[in-house]
Chain A
């Protein structure tokens, strides 16, 4: 296989990463944008989504597509409920103080990991793909399911985008984001918006996880990588900027795929992490964001 096909393969793999990453990071970005808090447990919502997907899929017998669809519905709902409860029981009581919420979400991170370890166990388990289709390129065959992931992510992102920019719900969220007190004065139920946004952010991560489990196995420690990658994406894209988040997810995802194919993945991660930390130091508004004020 020559360099060209190799690059195509790497790009496709990168697009799959980018698709899943965009969904996950969008969740983190929404929570940061609207609530001004950093959710360190975001990766664990991803993990929880994957683990529940395995649980649901293994309960449904028959055609694997049935199990997958069931997981795609149930897993985000359960994860959303968990997030909703943690917002109610923990974050709200801290009045969204940035430092306290970070400490609390670290606690949540460990707690969810422990729960997964207790009820799911330390093994890594795959979920069967809903369909088995191999698309034959002239140089190599490629998994049809992976292409489906890319398309599904695009559809989902479009829906979220429309909801955020074109509907009343989106308007309320943006109003809350710009000025919490002012929104309250206009009778927007800020508390409910916060709980909703936190749940929605977690659900996006869960959906991304359901999409990925047929490719990557579910494991109780799988949350750290998506968390760090989402941080990277959100920072590069500009904190709280949705457009920036999507662009950055595409760039990070694709370049991650390409770099990982040609270089050591550890070295790639090292360089990317250091570069992003430096972006945050020298250009806190992100590479694509504009300075606020």
Chain B
């Protein structure tokens, strides 16, 4: 049965990531911790863009809501990490609810622009309230605030191994949640809305309510990624609220394959290393080119949308493995 294959595949991916910790050199271990957290962001984005068919250009606001919700409560209020994480996710979910109620009144291009503008408002707010957020410069969470005691065990999130496994736990949880949603009746309704909104309504579904639920879940997952990023890597800054962080999840999802459960991870891994590679190797080869992520991201977006719109897993599914979720 498909469900069996699907579950085995996802468990295998999680196991592979767990094993990688023993193999990877320190630098790449750090990179992969970051990638797993960012892939959670991409999975949240994918739920809305890939499965529900809503293209948001403002998801940085949900990531940032999680980031600041967690980071500021730790830094200013001295909250414990688990509580701060919950606060981050909560902030993102509430924001997503409010934004969803407004933005879902629009469709198509207007939806993209509205989400982009609301995200810009939040970005400007992180600059404006600089006395708390320290704007562009950002806040570094001091090491002592990143300890947590749980069930008699001590975790230090500035320790790379702890960090790797924390990122893995979050990633695995969200991956399995996504798989569950996609396979559920609710997931089928989201796909139906993407495929044919009018028909879905005429089957008796409240399209608005289902879309709103998708926005809130997607926002909360993106917020969880932001909150984890703040707590694991100890930095909170307004770059993470900027337009760039709304475009990146779109790019990761497009590359890995929209509306595939594993596409976001693959897209994030490839893009991260591509940018890393280009800014490293190219910068050394042709130093006066000032090569940065801009060129790589630009070319990747255009090439993907022109020649490769289904992404990697989307193409694999279309040609070889129809059972991929």
**A positions within 8 Å CB-CB of B:** 38, 90, 93-94, 98-100, 102-104, 106-115, 117-118, 121-122, 224, 228, 231, 235, 264, 266-267, 269-270, 273-274, 276-278, 280-282, 284
Contacts and interface: CB of A to CB of B under 8 A. Distances in A.
Given A98-B108, A110-B301, A277-B121, A103 B290 contact: no
A107 B117 contact: no
B55 interface: yes
A110 B298 contact: yes
A115 B254 CA distance: 24
11 contacts: A38-B109, A38-B112, A90-B306, A93-B306, A106-B301, A107-B301, A117-B294, A118-B289, A270-B121, A273-B120, A277-B118
Nearest to B293: A110
A282 B110 CA distance: 11
B98 to A, nearest CB: 12
A104 B102 contact: no
B295 A111 contact: yes
Interface string B13-28: 0000000000000000
6 tightest A-B contacts by CB?
A107-B301, A110-B298, A111-B298, A114-B295, A107-B302, A277-B117
A276 B110 CA distance: 12
B302 A108 contact: yes
Interface residues of B, number: 40
Most buried by A among B108, B127, B294, B299: B294
Main secondary structure of the interface of A (DSSP, over half): helix
Interface in B265-314: 289-292, 294-295, 297-302, 304-306, 309
B294 A113 contact: yes
A266 B301 contact: no
Contacts of A121: 290
A284 B105 CA distance: 10
Interface of B: 55, 57, 102-103, 105-106, 108-110, 112-114, 117-118, 120-121, 124-125, 127-128, 243, 247, 250, 254, 289-292, 294-295, 297-302, 304-306, 309
B113 to A, nearest CB: 6
A264 B113 CA distance: 25
Given A90-B302, A270-B121, A281-B114, A102 B128 contact: no
Contacts of A102: 55, 57, 109, 112
Given A121-B290, A266-B124, 9 more contacts: A90-B306, A99-B55, A100-B309, A103-B301, A107-B300, A269-B124, A274-B121, A277-B102, A281-B102
Contact of A104 (B103, B110, B121, B301): B301
Contacts of B292: 114, 117
A285 to B, nearest CB: 11
A102 B254 CA distance: 13
- Which of A38, A93, A98 lies at the interface centre, i.e. has the most chain B CB atoms within 10 A of its CB? A38
A282 B105 contact: yes
A235 B124 contact: no
Contacts of B103: 281
A110 B294 contact: yes
A172 to B, nearest CB: 24
A111 B113 contact: no
A107 B299 contact: yes
A278 B247 CA distance: 22
A94 B302 CA distance: 10
A273 B297 contact: no
Contact of A117 (B110, B112, B290): B290
Contact of B254 (A38, A103, A110): A103
Given A38-B112, A281-B102, A107 B118 contact: no
A6 to B, nearest CB: 24
